[in-house]
Amino acid sequence: MMKFRFRRQGTDPQREKIKQELFAFSKTVEHGFPHQPSALAYDPELQLMAIGTKAGAVKVYGAPGVEFTGLHDDTTAVIQIHFLPGQGRLVSLLDDNTIHLWELTPTPPRQVGGVKRDGVVILQEVDNYSLPGRPGIESCSTTRVTVLLLLRSCDLLCVGTEGGGVYFLDLPSLSLKDGQTLLQDQVTQSLPEDYRCGKSLGPVESLQEHPRQAGKILIGYSRGLVVLWDVSSRQIEKLFLGKQQLESLVWECSGNLFVSSHSDGGYSVWAVVNDDCNNPQPVSSTIPYGPFPCKAINKILWRTTATGSPVLLYSGGMPRASYGDRHCLTIQQDTDHVTLDFTSRVIDFFTVHNVEQEKEFDDPSALVVLLEEELVVIDLQTSGWPSMPTPYLAPLHSSAITCSCHITSVPPKLWERLINAGRAQQGHEHAPGRWPICGGKNLAPPPKQQELLLTGHEDGTVRFWDASGIALTPLYKLSTANVFHTDCDSCDVPQDPGDDPDLQLEEEWPPFRKVGCFDPYSDDPRLGIQKISLCKYSNKLLVAGTAGQVIVLALSDERSDHTVDVAVVDLLQDREGFTWKGHDRLDPRLRPAPFPPGFQPQVLVQCMPPASVTAVALHAEWNLISFGTSHGFGLFDYQRRSAVLARCTLHPNDSLAMEGPLSRVKSLKKSLRQSFRRIRKSRVSGKKRTISTPTSKVQEANAALAEHEEMAPIQRRIEPRSADDSLSGVVRCLCFADTYLRDGTHHGPTLWAGTNSGSVYAYALVVPGVGSGRGSERGVAGESGGVCVEAVLGKEIQLMHRAPVVSISVLDGRAKPLPEPYEASQDLSIAPDMSNPHSVLIASEEQLKVFSLPKVSAKTKFKLTAHEGCRVRKVALVVFSSTAQEDYSEHTLVCLTNMGDMHLFSIPGLRPQVRYDCIRKEDISGIASCVFTRNGQGFYLISPSEYERFSLSAKAFTEPLCSVALERLSLTSDVTTMLPQTNGTLKNQIGQAEGQTEGLPSSLSSPLSDTPLSSPLSCADVTLESTGELTVEDVRDFLTTVDEEENNLKNIQEEEDRPPGILIN
């Protein structure tokens, strides 16, 4: 009998085929700015830009949508990158002193989700080389590479070293040319006696090829000596005896001059003349920000123009005492002088200019600056040198990301209004010029629908991003700071001045101008955005923050000066014995304030105590919002400006909930201490624990039943959680639904709330006018002071193990999720089935359960923690479309666990479909930041500045589709690009179902688990600084781990029904 009960079911070939047509896992593209960039290069022929990172990644960008990514075998920092112009090849230098050759390589077609797709082009490493040490010298520091120079012929690579030697490598073979090496001893012999002085020349700091005479290079040594060397004749043509420590060199385009920059903050101009003088002096030497000591000019560029005066660009050189901590780049032309002031370190920069030999002048059109936290492009052809908006590589973390929200199928009208609002914000800050990095061709078809990604930030802003394609483009930025009184009063400056030359002259000298949008500092941490909800049909936006502020905003095309209505909701309901020890509320602005076009605040609801908002829900058709904190939840009618409901969920022992999220050190210590006490207590006296609540008899009965019931051999015993756990009153989820709650014949509006202690509250709502032209009737009733919205408690459910409730969803009579507000009433979707009984799907951290309505009796369940040894972190109901049949789709429940894997279940049967390894289990921030789309895709943070985009659908995915014309190939390949992961793994383009991967090695079935923790993208470095949704439960995952072998048990048979552990009032 028992043997038959637990026998594994056989697989249905037809169902397996359908699953292949529906599900396929792939990581498609990385959105945002590369984490910890370290190198920059530009191909003027292909108009491609490459960025190297400290994690060993090389990313190539062209026109929007053209992207390629390569990853070195070792996670070693990329020091330099150089393109072989026009060939689709590049050379990289790593911090481990190895040189690598990369090229764009086509691959054969492959199968994805049962569908044959074209081959891809990947950026692939084809060769590498490491300089051998000098004979007789044990130390390898003399051959440590300091600088690379690729000659214009692209067949020779010059390698400067720390020992002062210059080596020459053949390309593309990366082989050392015998007899061509130039050692420092050979140069020293040609120096005058008074210059030698027994001192070393130092490392090679710069190598530059003559712009007119191929094969002649300038070699700059750290001591200050510059040598003009002829590679073909192996002769020194000229010596330039500099006396200041050298930083960089650059040729003037005619080859008659070159410029050197030095460590004292100055630069010198040298003339290259054909005379016998072997000891020329510089034509001029200047310390632009002297005479006081200045920092070094790290890099300098000299660009000629047809107008006469050259453009001089250099980084650094600031007065050491006054502005030594500034990150600056200076642009000079004749009397025009601007010092660009950035908020992060300058990594490298280049100009887009003429490179043809027949051109007499450089005529630079743009300056591209790679900073540690963002990319800035300056238009050099427009007066004032304004910055240009970036269509990609925007810094998502301009202020730390705290939450995110995805909107699919955005209506065209809303999309257009958002774009117009964003353009009005830019004003004259940005130049309208063409994006200069425009190589390659984006072959992806226009998106069938527009998608929005909304990100909430620590500084109180909400940013709207175009997530329809490969390039994540900024559309519009909303600031909530001007609703309150803060230290920096944004009401007085409604528009971010950015890099406006008229507003940014902070000092008379140097002429600073703030450039860029990265701002790691927040005026007030209470402004941080915690939750976002947008109704795309009514253009209503709900934003909630760290200090209990909940703001309802409406979209407007005109500027407005008005006062925001304020309402206060006390969630404690005068409960005695609780004193709030956290931060104060934000002071609202009581006078009219100016609000630019876009989303403008209408109502401010202040929760008291001002704890961080943990859940929100918006139903624009009913004009209702709901919000929850660690103290309780409330319901508010924003049309009538009146509170409908306030329910306290605190337990008498919830002292931690009164400290507030900003008491982080104290709270974390107390949380960990209580966690250990709870573990010890459960081991010693878990079976003797009593619960002093009105439901103690029910809980004791359920616990006794669980103790005496024989557990299935593949299940873990789950100890019931104590009712006095700290933060048990935290509201985790809220949900509006039009369903059956009181009886099976009358349906109506309801509100559902789930808490951290496993409690679910269901309220029946009386909303005047629902279903009969509600909008106008509600407006009349509100003005006349008539009927109000009412809320009556209908059901109260207590989950047996008191696991936190992660999600609540109501299913209609066809077991489909209910449509969003306005979708059914405006015939934008199929009307829900109201003739058959409804059900509610409640997902806790430990199990998934479907209850019938209105009786709230258990129908089906799946105990994920007992079976898989993991806890649910994120849940979404997703529609998966078939690749074989256009009209076939399935609604599926997607669960992300604390182990970083994705579990897909059918609804309402809750039968496991497939499981995919997605995120490393150590990456707490990535798991906490994950957000799903309605069509089977998702996003999660792989660093503070990058989102990883993935797809669980065989049909719906977004990946690069582009072509690049290469000289080394006879034909242009119009194929897609496959991007490797920057965390050290290739992206799995072919998703495997769990039953199909049992025979594979563990390293193949779970590639994401092999990522070394020393990587700059590991959780040890970045996971705790990029999201505001980390909880004590996330930290507990590190304290107690489960046996990984048990995590491989799959496809269990649904267990027999047991008495449900619920209490129904």
pLDDT of residue 1065: 35
Q: What gap in Å lies between CA 602 and CA 639, rounded to an integer?
A: 10
Widest Cα–Cα separation across the chain: 106
For residue 388, give the nearest of 373, 364, 369 by alpha carbon.
369
pLDDT of residue 673: 62
| pLDDT surpasses 60 at 164 | yes
Q: What is the mean pLDDT of residues 473-480?
A: 95
Q: What gap in Å lies between CA 152 and CA 1022, rounded to an integer?
A: 40
To which residue do tokens 């969803």 refer?
A: 809
Alpha helices (H) along 631-686: 664-685
pLDDT of residue 786: 55
pLDDT of residue 431: 55
| pLDDT surpasses 50 at 642 | yes
| pLDDT surpasses 90 at 539 | yes
More confident residue, 743 or 951: 951
More confident residue, 1029 or 57: 57
Contact (Cβ atoms closer than 8 angstroms) between residue 634 and residue 613: no
Distances (CA, A) of 869 to 5, 484, 716, 926, 1050: 21, 46, 7, 20, 11
pLDDT of residue 506: 44
Contact (Cβ atoms closer than 8 angstroms) between residue 872 and residue 806: yes
Q: How many helices and strands (H and E) does the chain possess?
A: 14, 65
Range from 14-18, 485-489, 708-712, 1009-1013 carrying the lowest mean pLDDT:
1009-1013
Contact (Cβ atoms closer than 8 angstroms) between residue 79 and residue 94: yes
pLDDT of residue 547: 96
Residue 424's Cα: distance from chain center in Å? Answer: 26
Distances (CA, A) of 948 to 26, 191, 744: 11, 56, 44
To which residue do tokens 């909430």 refer?
A: 456
The pair phi, psi for residue 1008, each rounded to 5°, is -75, -15
Task: Classify residue 935 by its DSSP letter.
Answer: T
Q: What is the mean pLDDT of the chain?
A: 82
Q: What is the mean pLDDT of residues 477-502?
A: 65
| pLDDT surpasses 90 at 743 | no
pLDDT of residue 1006: 33
Q: What is the mean pLDDT of residues 794-816?
A: 93
- Length of the chain measured in residues: 1065
The dihedral through the CA atoms of 674, 679, 680, 683 has a sign that is: positive
Grade residue 110 by pLDDT with cuts at 50, 70 and 90. Answer: low
Contact (Cβ atoms closer than 8 angstroms) between residue 960 and residue 470: yes
- Token pair listed for 935: 């069509």
Contact (Cβ atoms closer than 8 angstroms) between residue 657 and residue 730: yes
Grade residue 606 by pLDDT with cuts at 50, 70 and 90. Answer: very high
Q: What is the mean pLDDT of residues 398-403?
A: 94
To which residue do tokens 């005047």 refer?
A: 768
For residue 903, give the nearest of 1050, 715, 733, 717 by alpha carbon.
1050
| pLDDT surpasses 50 at 726 | yes
Q: What gap in Å lies between CA 811 and CA 194, rounded to an integer?
A: 90
Residue 780's Cα: distance from chain center in Å? Answer: 45
User: What crossing angle do the helices spanning 664-685 and 1032-1039 adopt, rounded to 10°?
Assistant: 60
Beta bridge partners of residue 919, listed in sequence order:
none
pLDDT of residue 273: 79
pLDDT of residue 29: 93
The pair phi, psi for residue 412, each rounded to 5°, is -55, -35
Q: What gap in Å lies between CA 463 and CA 465, rounded to an integer?
A: 6
Q: What gap in Å lies between CA 868 and CA 1045, rounded to an integer?
A: 10
End-to-end Cα, the chain, rounded Å: 38
The pair phi, psi for residue 657, each rounded to 5°, is -70, -15
Task: Classify residue 463 by its DSSP letter.
Answer: E
| pLDDT surpasses 70 at 498 | no
For residue 465, give the nearest of 454, 457, 456 by alpha carbon.
454
- The SS3 call for residue 949 is strand
Q: What is the mean pLDDT of residues 371-396?
A: 93
Q: What is the mean pLDDT of residues 283-308?
A: 93
For residue 754, give the nearest of 792, 800, 801, 808 by alpha carbon.
808
Grade residue 441 by pLDDT with cuts at 50, 70 and 90. Answer: confident
